[in-house]
Amino acid sequence: MNYTFSNKIASLKPSAIREMFKSLTDPNIISFAAGNPAPESFPVDDLARLSADIFATSATSALQYSVTDGYAPLRQAVAKRLKQKFNIGKSAAEGDKYDDTTVIVSGGNQGIELACKVLCNEGDVVICENPTFIGGLNAFRSCGAKTVGVPLLDDGIDTDALEQTIKSTPNARMIYLIPTFQNPAGTSTSLEKRIKIYEIAKKYGILIFEDNPYGELRFAGEEIPTVKSLDTEGLVIYCSSFSKILSAGMRVGYVTAPDEIVQKMVVAKQSEDVHTNIFFQMLCHRFITECDLDAHIEKIRAIYRRKCSLMISTLEECMPKSFKFTRPEGGLFVWCTLPEGVDMNAFVKKALEKKVAVVPGTTFNCDPDAPSRSVRLNYSTPTDDQIVEGCRRLGETAREFNI
Amino acid sequence: MNYTFSNKIASLKPSAIREMFKSLTDPNIISFAAGNPAPESFPVDDLARLSADIFATSATSALQYSVTDGYAPLRQAVAKRLKQKFNIGKSAAEGDKYDDTTVIVSGGNQGIELACKVLCNEGDVVICENPTFIGGLNAFRSCGAKTVGVPLLDDGIDTDALEQTIKSTPNARMIYLIPTFQNPAGTSTSLEKRIKIYEIAKKYGILIFEDNPYGELRFAGEEIPTVKSLDTEGLVIYCSSFSKILSAGMRVGYVTAPDEIVQKMVVAKQSEDVHTNIFFQMLCHRFITECDLDAHIEKIRAIYRRKCSLMISTLEECMPKSFKFTRPEGGLFVWCTLPEGVDMNAFVKKALEKKVAVVPGTTFNCDPDAPSRSVRLNYSTPTDDQIVEGCRRLGETAREFNI
């Protein structure tokens, strides 16, 4: 039997990163290729205790079918937190121009995919920072949308190029941004640029998808207001999750967006998974309302502050000066740019021979054939010893290129 | 701001059933409208014990990101069970013509949606039994596919009409079937017809999606081989879940299909939710391998045997003879067909006034504007007392129509 697949899926490749995981069976390989939270960041004891209590007191509702938009007490707790911490969430009743609604999704990636599904017809365009999150790119492609990249600078997307791209792309439907601790670049968009981007979106009537999985993971520098907090017109779909602060494996995230958009996303979600695992929605709610989430997040920040600082200082020590890297103030990644003349793919291959895995920058390009001189390094998953030894091996690799 | 939505989503309505749930806040209403498993069918004590043990022994891997195709030990346990109990799963290594692969999905509905997403371009057709599962219909619509209904008879789909429809629909890509304890009709496709349907699919090179959520819930009559067990050519995508035998709220299902199709579904799944909640995948695996799943299923069958029999005997007692209903041998539903001349929607409305909720048959039609003279009654969710009282109220309702 010869199978024929839909156009949108036929050309879709599995994420290079997830494929790389499969080849990382050699226990001697140090992986800087993942994006996993540090295992020590999971509040295991609290989750175990609360789980036991859910089984004891609410087993039937925790195991039964539930509503698609999410467990109401969790939605309320999330909305309250977003309002208090990030000034997110409008209510026409309070004199705002429109209503925002918060719903639960099965991880942030589902939020991205649902937004594209409800907004884009086949061939419509999502404008992305270039480079950007591969999971976002693949979600857009899997919906039949096209992606167009706009260069990401140190302080955020190139806003002149963004405006030009919108002008020349009449079927652009959404701007996909990770303004805070961007994946893969590790940089954050300045407040000035956030305002500028929002003004452009407003001028051209185009929606913004603000993906903020790392927003709570700041360990240096000053907080920058979210783009969503600037949203007076109902242009921003905000998405985040509990993956980086409670558990990635449970797949619980949330979307806050204008009610009309959210209702369409809920209808689309109903056809995907009916609802998100209700037991873990209840568990998240219990954790938020009964434990000290802020104190827990402070612990995670301390872990990443230490790991990031260790990676940066070891890289400074081991790598030739011609190799540039970002100094992140939060998130999970360092973005390393190779000197001109070094073949990035050859570098990645040589590093793997020395048993250290990094992700080639081309993975994150909207145009998969476009070149890249960068690689992504993750510091949240490896141990401290692995960070030091892996950076040493990267230094060795770099010196073999004689730069 | 005026939002514009994609064509495939703009016209999609929330499931009438799920919407009806929202209006069922009146505690005096007896609902025969749900499709929820009986709460007493959840093995709460075993799940609580195994959960505690997962937290104690494997918390880190149960809370961390995992692979998209599912927890390998669970995939193996499911594949083994499917082979032993249903003769499902081919292996070229064992002399079969092709390889089947089993992967985990976030409930059966995701399996349906992913299959359509990878096979259908916008406007392609999925041929369905008419009436059929509303969640399937909406999944196809949400992918931009069209649905074409073929009448469902007492012993399965009308195979002559099926062949005619395939001939006249060059862009038909898949036949969607619920051969065992069909939702909503409660009937099963005879073996003879399963063979005939498979032969037609083979003749025209069209794939079959066999949705089998209720397959384990037989409480009377003889087992009928699955369509997938007849699959010599790699034409059948088989999907089922743990929703009706362990927990619906955890959203864990599985797909067994030719490897090439499954790999595409996995790539598409990666863009939806990355992977299914890994804690509950591990929990399912522990239950299957450490508890007696077959004995547990026998208990569930006994519950539904009793509840179904109670509903049927009460209906026989209370309803005018002109109202016909199916006598299911398993599953969750009785399909009641009203005498000619009774307006089905008026009947549903009148029943709701008497505080008993049933689902109008039109909900399950491929063409939402086509008429229906039937309603769906569920016996798994209500208590025994509610079944008796609800059927009594339905009888009262029927008599008011003077038939």
Which chain A residue has the Cα nearest residue B35? Answer: A65
Give the DSSP letter string of B50-94.
Answer: HHHHHHHHHHHHHHS---TT--HHHHHHHHHHHHHHH-----GGG
A15, A35, A274 ranked by CB distance to B270: nearest: A15
pLDDT reading at B195 higher than 70: yes
Residue A225 CB coordination number (10 Å): 14
Query: How many Å lie between the alpha carbon of A217 and the closest alpha carbon of chain B?
Result: 17
At residue A303 the predicted structure's pLDDT band, cuts being 50, 70 and 90, is: very high
Find chain A residues with C-beta within 8 A of B14's C-beta. 68, 266-267, 270
pLDDT of residue B26: 81
Q: How far apart are CA A349 and CA B357, in angstroms?
A: 64
Q: What are chain B's domains? A: 7-43+295-400 (3.90.1150.10), 64-290 (3.40.640.10)
Q: Which among B98, B54, B135 is positioned nearest to A275, based on CA atoms?
A: B135
Round the average pLDDT of chain A to a whole number and report it. Answer: 95
Find chain B residues with C-beta within 8 A of A205's C-beta. 1
Find chain B residues with C-beta within 8 A of A14's C-beta. 68, 266-267, 270
Round the average pLDDT of chain B to a whole number and report it. Answer: 95
pLDDT reading at B254 higher than 90: yes
Q: What letter would DSSP give residue B154?
A: T
At residue B53 the predicted structure's pLDDT band, cuts being 50, 70 and 90, is: very high
Question: Which residues, in sequence order, are CB contacts of B279 under 8 Å at separation 6+?
Answer: A247, A249, A250, A280, B51, B54, B62, B63
Cβ of B279 and A62 within 8 Å? no
Q: How far apart are CA A343 and CA A363, in angstroms?
A: 15
Find chain A residues with C-beta within 8 A of B117's C-beta. 6, 8-9, 142
Which chain A residue has the Cα nearest residue B60? Answer: A39
pLDDT in tens, A196-254: 999 999 999 999 999 999 999 999 999 999 999 999 999 999 999 999 999 999 999 99
B205, B190 Cβ separation under 8 angstroms: no
pLDDT of residue A121: 95
Q: Which residues of B309-325 are buried (b: 16+ CB within 10 A; e: fewer)?
A: ebbbebbeebbeeebeb
Query: How many Å lie between the alpha carbon of B388 and the closest alpha carbon of chain A?
Result: 23
B157, B190 Cβ separation under 8 angstroms: no
pLDDT of residue B368: 82
Q: How far apart are CA A258 and CA A265, in angstroms?
A: 11
Query: How many Å lie between the alpha carbon of B291 and the closest alpha carbon of chain A?
Result: 18
Q: Which among A378, A388, A384 is positioned nearest to A183, based on CA atoms?
A: A378
pLDDT in tens, B328-378: 999 999 999 999 999 999 999 999 999 999 999 999 999 988 999 999 999
Cβ of A14 and B270 within 8 Å? yes
Rounded to 10°, the helix A259-273/B134-142 angle is 120
Q: Sheet holding A324-325: strands in order across?
A: A324-325, A333-337, A374-378, A359-360
3-state secondary structure of A238: strand
pLDDT of residue B403: 63
pTM: 0.96
A17, A31 Cβ separation under 8 angstroms: no
Query: What ipTM score was computed for the predicted complex, to two decimals?
Result: 0.96
pLDDT of residue A368: 82
Cβ of A235 and B266 within 8 Å? no
